[in-house]
A and B are shown apart, each in its own frame.
Chain A
């Protein structure tokens, strides 16, 4: 089973600053990596798929990079609505699985 890890667990950032979130897979997942945002009380929202492709309607300040086992989500200039929890997910073995990372909480510094 592929294990996903994320760092840091919590990231404190001031509005307008850049946030860089990391995700690591225990074995290569190629570019089969997605990022989601989840605000309190809401369902997750797809941000990035294929490691670097923004989903429909996602602002350009969100960008993804990486391949293999190391991935990064960058939020270039944090807006108030971006303070949330972010999860990465590998889907390299789809349809036989799609494990999530434990999440990174981005909160206001």
Chain B
């Protein structure tokens, strides 16, 4: 069973960047992909993108292209999601999740990112 532990709450200024980490244990890191999903306060789930660590290939939703960078470090079994040019609308809980075929079977605990001046 895969366990995913994410980094802690972040408070950022508009226009800055944030990087959220997601450390995996259990399973073999290069046998699954990592997806990133966010949830604004009181809102639904929003797919941001994902990475297949073994191929180091990342994809992102069109909405986030140019602003999100998803990477993975196989040596530490850790995936990262960096979001730049932050706006207040980016205030959300950011989740990572493991996936083999596109559905997320294990989830991290979530990381709250607050964007405020």
A binds B: yes
**Residues on A facing B (Cβ under 8 Å):** 1, 32, 34, 36, 38, 43-46, 49, 55, 85, 87, 89, 91-92, 94-103
Q: Is the CB of A95 within 8 A of B47?
A: no
**Cβ of A95: which chain B residues have Cβ within 8 Å of it?**
33, 50, 52, 57, 59, 102
Query: In the complex, what residue of chain B is closest to A45 when comparing beta carbons?
Result: B107
**Cβ of A44: which chain B residues have Cβ within 8 Å of it?**
37, 45, 95, 104, 107
Query: In the complex, what residue of chain A is closest to B96 when comparing beta carbons?
Result: A43
Q: How far is the CA of A90 from the CA of B109 in the complex (A)?
A: 22
Q: Is the CB of A46 within 8 A of B103?
A: yes
Q: Which of B102, B104, B105, B107 has the most CB of A within 10 A?
A: B102
A44-B107, A95-B33, A95-B52 given; A103·B101 CB < 8 A = no
Q: Is the interface of B mostly helix, strand, loop or mixed?
A: strand
**Cβ of A46: which chain B residues have Cβ within 8 Å of it?**
103-105
**Cβ of B95: which chain A residues have Cβ within 8 Å of it?**
43-44
**Cβ of B108: which chain A residues have Cβ within 8 Å of it?**
43
Query: In the complex, what residue of chain A is closest to B109 when comparing beta carbons?
Result: A43
B46: Cβ under 8 A from any A Cβ: yes
- From A49, A55, A91, A103, give the contact of B44 (CB < 8 A): A103
Closest Cβ of chain A: how far from B48's Cβ, in Å?
Answer: 10
Q: Is the CB of A91 within 8 A of B103?
A: yes
B62: Cβ under 8 A from any A Cβ: yes
Q: How far is the CA of A92 from the CA of B47 in the complex (A)?
A: 13
Closest Cβ of chain B: how far from A31's Cβ, in Å?
Answer: 11
Q: How far is the CA of A45 from the CA of B103 in the complex (A)?
A: 11
Q: Which of B44, B46, B50, B61 has the most CB of A within 10 A?
A: B44
**Cβ of B109: which chain A residues have Cβ within 8 Å of it?**
43
**Cβ of B45: which chain A residues have Cβ within 8 Å of it?**
36, 38, 44, 87, 89, 100, 103
Query: In the complex, what residue of chain A is closest to B108 when comparing beta carbons?
Result: A43
**Cβ of A91: which chain B residues have Cβ within 8 Å of it?**
99, 101-103
Closest Cβ of chain B: how far from A107's Cβ, in Å?
Answer: 15
Q: Is the CB of B44 within 8 A of A100?
A: yes
